[in-house]
């Protein structure tokens, strides 16, 4: 939207030079301030002012829209965070006298069962895992950390849903060691 000031509007600005300064060609400070105020209040993007002594062209960029930037794309989907206390019945329920081991979170973050939404989970209930095998990913501060099992055995229970918030030392998996 480029508008030019008309000759009628030109006369509404302070006169280019007063009668007491017939030979002066410079605008005084108050005239410059008046011009800046007029342009900012009018919403005009372009102003041309011509007098016998002065020719002035002022152009400003129109207001630019600011767009909120989105975070860098991530390999796993971002889900809304819902915090709820885990049910107490979901503590490691060992099967009839068998010993189980808990795989716990080493950090706070977001728990992911697979590297991206299109791939199957790293481990599921009933899978055999070995020591050092990646069992999940925890995203913390836009870094994806692979969590490895510290024990070999069979996965008995997965305690979290995909894309769930996780706390430090929270139980992720229950494993029956070999």
Specify the number of domains making up the chain.
2
Instruction: Say if 83 falls within a structural domain.
Output: no
Task: Examine the pLDDT at 35 and tell me if it is beyond 80.
Answer: no
Domain containing 169 — which CATH number?
Answer: 2.40.50.100
pLDDT per residue as tens digits for the range 105-137: 999 999 999 999 899 999 999 999 999 999 999
**DSSP 8-state class, residue 65:** P
Whose tokens are 């809304």? That residue is 80
Give the list of residues 6+ apart from residue 159 with CB closer than 8 angstroms, or none. Answer: 86, 90, 170, 171, 172, 173, 174
Please determine, for residue 36, whether its predicted confidence score (pLDDT) is greater than 70.
yes
What is the average pLDDT value for the chain, to the nearest integer? 73
| pLDDT for position 137 | 96
Say if residue 172 is in the same domain as residue 115: yes
pLDDT tens string 60-83: 665 544 444 444 444 545 444 444
104 and 164 share a domain? yes
Q: Which residue has the higher pLDDT, 43 or 37?
A: 37
In a domain, 76, yes or no: no
- The answer on 102 and 172 residing in a single domain is yes
The whole-number pLDDT of residue 135 equals: 96
Whether 160 has a pLDDT exceeding 70, the answer reads: yes
For residue 43, what pLDDT band results from cuts at 50, 70 and 90? low
* CA distance to 5, 10, 105, per residue, from 110 (Å): 58, 63, 10
Range of the domain at 42: 7-59
117 and 167: one domain? yes
For residue 61, the model assigns a pLDDT of 62
d(C-alpha 140, C-alpha 55), whole Å: 60
Look at the pTM and tell me if it is higher than 0.85: no
Do residues 104 and 167 share a domain?
yes
Flag whether 158 is in a domain. yes
> Does pLDDT of 1 surpass 60?
no
């Amino acid at each position: 939207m480029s508008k030019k000031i008309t000759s009628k509007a030109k006369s509404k600005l302070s006169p280019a030079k007063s009668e007491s300064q017939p030979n002066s060609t410079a605008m005084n400070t108050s005239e410059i301030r008046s011009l800046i105020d007029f342009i900012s209040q009018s919403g005009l993007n372009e102003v041309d002012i011509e007098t016998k002594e002065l020719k002035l062209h002022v152009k400003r960029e129109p207001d630019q829209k600011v767009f909120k930037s989105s975070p860098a794309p991530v390999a796993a989907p971002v889900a809304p965070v819902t915090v709820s206390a885990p049910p107490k019945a979901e503590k490691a329920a060992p099967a009839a006298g068998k010993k189980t081991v808990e795989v716990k979170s080493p950090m706070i973050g977001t728990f992911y069962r697979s590297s991206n939404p299109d791939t199957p989970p790293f481990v599921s209930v009933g899978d055999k895992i070995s020591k050092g095998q990646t069992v999940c990913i925890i995203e913390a501060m836009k870094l994806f950390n692979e969590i490895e099992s510290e024990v070999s055995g069979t996965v008995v229970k997965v305690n979290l849903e995909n894309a769930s918030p996780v706390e430090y030392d929270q139980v992720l998996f229950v494993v029956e060691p070999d």
